[in-house]
Amino acid sequence: MPIGDENIIRRTPIVNYSLIAVNTIVFFTLWLAPGIVGCKTYEEVIWAYGVKPYQIIQLQGLWTILTGMFLHADIIHLLGNMWFLAIFGDNIEAIMGHLRYLVFYLLSGVGAVVFHVLSVAFIPPQALLNSAYLTINPWVVPAVGASGAISGVLGAYFLTYPNSRVRVFAFWWFFPITMVVPASLYIGFWFIFQLIMGFWSLTGISSGVAYWAHVGGFITGMGLSYFFVDKRLVRLIKSYIYGYRLGGVWA
C-alpha cells in the first residue's frame, strides 16, 4: 500500500483536490439521500448511473461513462481510490497544468470503459452460460468508480517519474514495515497484477473488480501523457531526479 511519494514539483494541485472533493461529496450525498436523483436506495443509484456494457455496445446511455466515474460501491472503494489519487495525482497535474490534467483524467476514464466493455465481449460464451461461476450476466452489471481514470494517472506517472521514490507500507511475515521503492517498480508490479487478474477474469469467474478497466486506463494514460505533459518540465524533473537537485519548480 503506498503511503506517499516525492513531491518533485511544488504546485497547488487544484484540480486533483477538486476531483477528490467531488467524488467524496457525490458518494455521501447519494448514499444518504438517493432520492435527489429519483432513486430509493444507493444500490438503485448504481444501477441507474453505472456503466452497463450492453448499453455502451449499443451506443445507449453513453452519459453513464461520465457519471460512473464519480460513483463508488462503498466507503472502502471510495477511500482506496481517493488515496491513490491524492498520492500520485498532484505531480501529474503539475506536469500537465490544471485544464489539461482534467481533460487527461476524463479521457483516461473513457479509455478504461472501452477496455472494460471489450473484456466482457471476450469472455467465452461457454463461461457466460456456466451458472456455477456466474451469478449474473456481466453485460448488465454496472461498473462504477474512479479507478479507471486514476489508472491513467498511474500510467502517466510510470512514464514521467520512473525514478521517483514511493513510500510503501507492507508486512514482512507478521511485522508491519515501511520501505522506499522506485515508482517504476511499484507501479510496474501493480500493472502486472492487474493484467494477470484481467486474464483470469476472462474465464468468466467474477471477482467484482473491473481489472481490464484498470489495464485500459493505464494504457490510455501512457498513450495520452505524451500529448499532455509539459516537456520542458519533464526535462527539469529528470535533472532533479538524476542528482542535479534543482530545488523543484515553483508555480
> Which fold would CATH assign to domain 2-244?
Rhomboid-like fold (1.20.1540)
What is the pTM assigned to this prediction?
Answer: 0.88
User: In terms of DSSP H, where are the helices of 175-248?
Assistant: 183-201, 211-228, 231-239
Of 234, 154, 140, the residue nearest 192 (C-alpha): 154
Confidence bin at 126 (pLDDT 50/70/90): low
For residue 247, pLDDT over 60 is answered with: no
Q: Which of 56-65, 101-110, 233-242 has maximum average pLDDT?
A: 101-110
Confidence bin at 128 (pLDDT 50/70/90): low
CB 50 within 8 A of CB 68: yes
Backbone angles phi, psi at 159, to 5 degrees: -80, -40
All structural domains of the chain with their residue ranges: 2-244
**Looking at the chain, how many residues does it have?**
251
Sign of CA dihedral 192, 169, 207, 29: negative
Place of cell 438517493: 34
Average pLDDT over every residue of 58-70: 95
Confidence bin at 240 (pLDDT 50/70/90): low
Task: List, for residues 194-207, the tens digit of each pLDDT value.
Answer: 999 988 888 766 67
The pLDDT, as a whole number, for residue 235 is 76
For residue 114, pLDDT over 60 is answered with: yes
